[in-house]
Amino acid sequence: QAESGVSHVATYTESMNPYSERRLTLMTELRRAIREDSLALYFQPQVRLSSGEVCGFEVLLRWNHPEHGFIPPDEFIPMAEQTGLIQPLTQWVLDRALLFGAAMDGAGYPVRMAVNISARNLEEPAFAELVQELLERHGLPTGRLILEVTETATMVNPVNALQALRGLYDAGIRLAIDDFGTGYSSLSYIRKLPVHEIKIDRSFVREMDANREDATIVRTTINMCHDLGFEVVAEGVESDDTSQLLRNMQCDIMQGYHLSRPMPEAHVAGWLSTWYYT
Ligand code: C2E
Ligand code: CA
Ligand code: CA
Ligand code: CA
């Protein structure tokens, strides 16, 4: 059930000259991969700490390249953003994620799908309509989807980002700020963000069971976010101690290897059948 082949093709990052031939080839191949459906989505469960129920899944893109093997999203997403491919890519991810969401619905698990979007998607004028159209096509209410935008992405062009988030928010689409704490946004900016949830970055969560400073940061962030009216998700939960700490801190939702690594759709039913929480 663990992800296999996580030994990355490190050589890719070395040749990330924007115009390198290899990079252009890779983009052509990515375009084809979208068209031919040879990308895959993995799903990582999110659990509500107060009840232990599985409330959703974060959707994570995987590209298993025929020659180069597994290419991690951190490597090809930035390229897709620079080349404009991110638009069809996000559309594909949303469509597939909602297809899975509808299947889960049918199986009696009305859970939400958390989909990552990039700053470039926020710039698309018809993005909110696209999202609503896809939800309708899959027969899912808006609450069944949550879009994750990184704190950094909202800082590229803060005025536009705020406006775009507001448009999505007003359309009833749930929003989360991802990797919270790693950017440089000010508290006054955060206060204005039209979003429902804050995801505390895993760099603060991962070792909070052993590191008092990290635990302090997480506790303070949870309290502040609650006071501002946001729900709080902790990502990168790797131990039972951390999950207990988070529950005591009244964190709302957790996600991480302690529960499960991201898994292919075919493994989800099996994982759910063995899931229990004490
Ligand atoms: P992210 O949104 O912060 O996603 C969480 C990452 O943390 C995932 O890496 C996940 O596998 C990993 N992770 C989950 N639990 C744990 C844990 O307990 N410990 C540790 N150490 N790691 C954990 P992944 O799948 O490699 O994704 C990397 C990044 O790529 C994502 O970071 C996201 O920014 C981006 N990404 C992935 N899929 C998509 C997508 O469909 N669209 C866009 N725009 N970006 C995506
Ligand atoms: Ca995310
Ligand atoms: Ca994150
Ligand atoms: Ca990240």
Measured CA to CA, the distance from residue 195 to residue 178 in angstroms comes to 11
User: For the segment 173-228, what is each residue's pLDDT rounded down to a tens digit?
Assistant: 999 999 999 988 888 888 889 999 999 999 999 999 999 999 999 999 999 999 99
For 12, residues 6+ apart whose C-beta sits below 8 A from its C-beta are 26, 68, 71, 75
Q: Is residue 44 lining ligand 1, measured as CB closer than 6 Å?
A: yes
Give nearest CA residue, ligand 1 atom 10.
262
Report ipTM (2 d.p.).
Answer: 0.97
Beta bridge partners of 56: 46, 112
pLDDT of res. 218: 98
Q: Which atom of ligand 1 is nearest to the CA of 72?
A: 26
Q: With beta carbons less than 8 A apart as the criterion, state whether 163 and 190 touch.
A: no
Measured CA to CA, the distance from residue 101 to residue 141 in angstroms comes to 11
Mean pLDDT of the chain: 91
pLDDT at residue 56 tops 90: yes
Pick the ligand that lies closest to the CA of residue 76.
Answer: 1
Q: Is residue 61 lining ligand 1, measured as CB closer than 6 Å?
A: yes
pLDDT at residue 11 tops 70: no
pLDDT of res. 115: 98
- Helix intervals (H) in 36-72: none
pLDDT at residue 19 tops 70: no
Measured CA to CA, the distance from residue 127 to residue 131 in angstroms comes to 6
- State if pTM tops 0.80: yes
| Ion ligand 2: protein residues whose beta carbon lies under 5 Å | 116, 148, 178
Q: Which atom of ligand 1 is nearest to the CA of 3?
A: 11
User: For the segment 219-267, what is each residue's pLDDT rounded down to a tens digit?
Assistant: 999 999 999 999 999 999 999 999 999 999 999 999 999 999 999 999 9
Q: Is residue 181 lining ligand 1, measured as CB closer than 6 Å?
A: no
HSE, side-chain direction, 13 A CA sphere, residue 130: 17
Q: Which tokens in the block code for residue 52?
A: 């232990």
